[in-house]
Amino acid sequence: MSDFLFSSFRKSVGELSTLIRSIYHTDPPEIEEFHGDWGSLAVSRNIYNGFESLETESDIVVVIGGPVLNFNSISYKSHDDIHLGTRAIYQRWKQEIIQWDEDLSGPFAVLIINKSNGRIICITDLLMFIPVYQYKHDHKLILGTHVDALALAAGCSNKIDHISLVDFILHGVVIYPYTFYKMIRQCQPATVHIYRKEKQKLLSGDNLENYWVPDETDQYENINEAAIALRESLQENMGRITNGFDHVAQFISGGEDTRVLAGLLPSSTKCDAYIFLDEMNREGKIAKALAEKYGMNFFVQTRTPTHYLDILPEACNLIGSGHQYMHAHSLGFHKTCGLDSYPAVLGGYGSDFLLKGLSTRQIRGHNRFPFLPEILLPGETRSRPIKHRYIRQDLLSELFTRRLQHFENVKRFRQQSIHEWFSIWPATMRVAIPNLYCNRRLFRSYEVFLSNEVVKLSSAIPTSWKLNRRLFNKATRPLLKPSKWLFHSDGRLPYFPWWVNIPVQFVFMVSQYIGNRIGLIQGNQGSWADWNRLYRDEAWSLTFHNYRNEIEHIFENYMELDSDYLTSLEKFKVRSQLNLLQVAYFLSKT
């Protein structure tokens, strides 16, 4: 539940706290405020043990998230000292020996305010898994970890960036470094941002120190060496996360990432495994069998048929505009499952795009026929002009210019893998990253695959090693052994290499196709919502009707459509309609 809002000019007492509370529909967190000649700061309580905000005689130190401290073996997470982790970071920084890319691992943001000279230092993590946004105008600075709260604090919530709205409708993300607001930008990943004030004015020429860049360098002699390094880093990271904990929770599915997490858990640590489903199905049955094989307690929670429509307002407010709300999978379940009572809730987010080449350019059809081998195509498509038959050409042209700027920026350090890293650097370019934004605010979420070691390894290996899960399989086979003969929900046997799984997965897909055709298999068999079924539900039409005025406004101002409302809406795919709906909700609040 940790967020901060900082203003370089003084705000009235309670003003910034009110804005942070507005993120939550229920159970807003406790908020602490600080004021001085340097400005004003509001920080919500950090639910990660040991990382509460720290005030010294000279500085105020804020840590957002629960980073793993690689330089300290103390189990600060279970210690009674609520400042232990924050103080350890601060002391290392004061001694000028801190290495941000080595000492802190995983998602984090750090803010250090010098109360006497007004110097502000903001440090972001390697890929900016926790985004920090900034407003700089007329010698004033406002920083924050929630874009909508920051916009309200800056008084610019009505200054909407229409290009970003179009971008979100098309792609489900907003191109870095833009936001839904004209005067707000994202900060830089892996950067120490230094701001200076003098006589209540923000000085120009802010200092940006990039402490790490994902340069395209091959650091491993062969794939086996990289696999060993990956396995060791995962084991070490899990050990540091669970140090001092005897009972944790984990998200489980019918896939391979949760098997790896279960295999990494120390045998002395009890684990409760949770899965969220429309109904108990094939995915749930495999997950239950996995829990039994790895000695975990299995719990299933079912969603209502309209769950993802019901959570729209609350999820949008929680994660912030410009990010797809439907990835807030745990919202609501954090209370019914008691996730907020665990010292750690483990997740497997990030392995697909960091270790398995999810964002690489591959031959078409692989998503439809996943038993086919993954083949890397040369070149890239990120710099191609954007085309859409219904959106105004002038908006598309401006959007293309922005995307080309991001392309050229990433190309400076990723010449060969620009297509892949275009949507990795920074992490705000990931469509599913709001899953992390939601979780970290509701409970103590730890994503083992988002460690600094994994991020660095991902940037230091050839893309070809990631395809067909070659590296991942070599690194995790010992961890997959307990479930050696248990099928993945997509029909694979994850323990075995890709070439063994080609005929196995082909037979599975054929049997599933026949089963669906003759009616033996019915209903949603996966983890996520069946969007096509929800699309046919009456609640879908009713929800869109509630935002009809805003959607028609979008059609009139951004589109080139001659048809009526319903006909125009049907021209867009289901996911694009959801993006339209989310933009409509955003407009309804402004």
Residues 86 and 134 in one domain: yes
- CA distances to 162, 163, 394, 419, 423 from 398, in Å: 10, 7, 6, 20, 19
The string of DSSP codes covering 85-99 is HHHHHHHHHHTT---
Residue 199 CB coordination number (10 Å): 7
The span from the CA of 486 to the CA of 515, in Å, is 20
The string of DSSP codes covering 499-559 is HHHHHHHHHHHHHHHHHHHTTSS-S--SSS--HHHHHTSHHHHHHHHHTHHHHHHHHHHHB
Domain boundary at 210, 235, 256, which?
A: 210
Task: Please confirm whether the linkage preceding 266 is cis (ω < 30° from 0).
Answer: no
Nearest to 106 by CA among 221, 254, 237, 203: 237
Q: What is the pLDDT of residue 1?
A: 63
In a domain, 397, yes or no: no
In a domain, 302, yes or no: yes
Residues 432 and 287 in one domain: yes
Residues 178 and 30 in one domain: yes
Domain that includes residue 496, residue range: 223-360+426-517
CATH number reported for the structural domain that contains residue 18 in this entry: 3.60.20.10
Q: What is the pLDDT of residue 590?
A: 86
Residues 173 and 258 in one domain: no
CATH number reported for the structural domain that contains residue 435 in this entry: 3.40.50.620
Q: What does each of the 590 residues of the chain score in pLDDT, given as a tens digit?
A: 699 999 999 999 999 999 999 999 999 999 999 999 999 999 999 999 999 999 999 999 999 999 999 998 766 555 678 999 999 999 999 999 999 999 999 999 999 999 998 899 999 999 999 999 999 988 899 999 999 999 999 999 999 999 999 999 999 999 999 999 999 999 999 999 999 877 666 655 468 999 999 999 889 999 999 999 999 999 999 999 999 899 999 999 999 999 999 999 999 999 999 999 999 999 999 999 999 999 999 999 999 999 999 999 999 999 999 999 999 999 999 999 999 999 999 999 999 999 999 999 988 777 777 888 999 999 999 999 999 989 999 999 999 999 999 999 999 999 999 999 999 999 999 999 999 999 999 999 999 999 999 999 999 999 999 999 999 999 999 999 999 999 999 999 999 999 999 999 988 888 877 877 787 777 777 788 888 889 989 999 999 999 999 999 999 999 988 788 888 898 899 999 999 999 999 999 98
pTM: 0.96
Q: What is the pLDDT of residue 75?
A: 62
In a domain, 411, yes or no: no
From the centroid of its chain, how far is CA 273? 21
In a domain, 558, yes or no: yes
Q: What is the pLDDT of residue 562?
A: 79
Residues 190 and 166 in one domain: yes
Residues 253 and 165 in one domain: no
Backbone φ and ψ of 452, nearest 5°: -60, -35
Residue 462 CB coordination number (10 Å): 16
To the nearest 10 degrees (0 to 180), the angle between helices 257-264 and 223-242 is 60
Task: DSSP letter for 29, please.
Answer: P
In a domain, 413, yes or no: no
Domain boundary at 517, 540, 560, which?
A: 517
Residues 116 and 256 in one domain: no
Residue 150 CB coordination number (10 Å): 29
In a domain, 125, yes or no: yes
In a domain, 283, yes or no: yes
Number of folded domains that form the chain: 3
Residues 342 and 470 in one domain: yes
Residues 322 and 441 in one domain: yes
Q: What is the pLDDT of residue 512?
A: 79
Q: What is the pLDDT of residue 522?
A: 76
In a domain, 399, yes or no: no
The span from the CA of 65 to the CA of 441, in Å, is 9
Residues 150 and 238 in one domain: no
Residues 22 and 149 in one domain: yes
Q: What is the pLDDT of residue 318?
A: 97
The span from the CA of 160 to the CA of 353, in Å, is 31
Nearest to 46 by CA among 123, 134, 110, 118: 110
Residues 28 and 140 in one domain: yes
Tokens of residue 199, six digits: 């006589």
Strands 109-114 and 120-124: antiparallel
Q: What is the pLDDT of residue 511?
A: 85
Tokens of residue 473, six digits: 């399989």
Domain boundary at 181, 210, 239, which?
A: 210
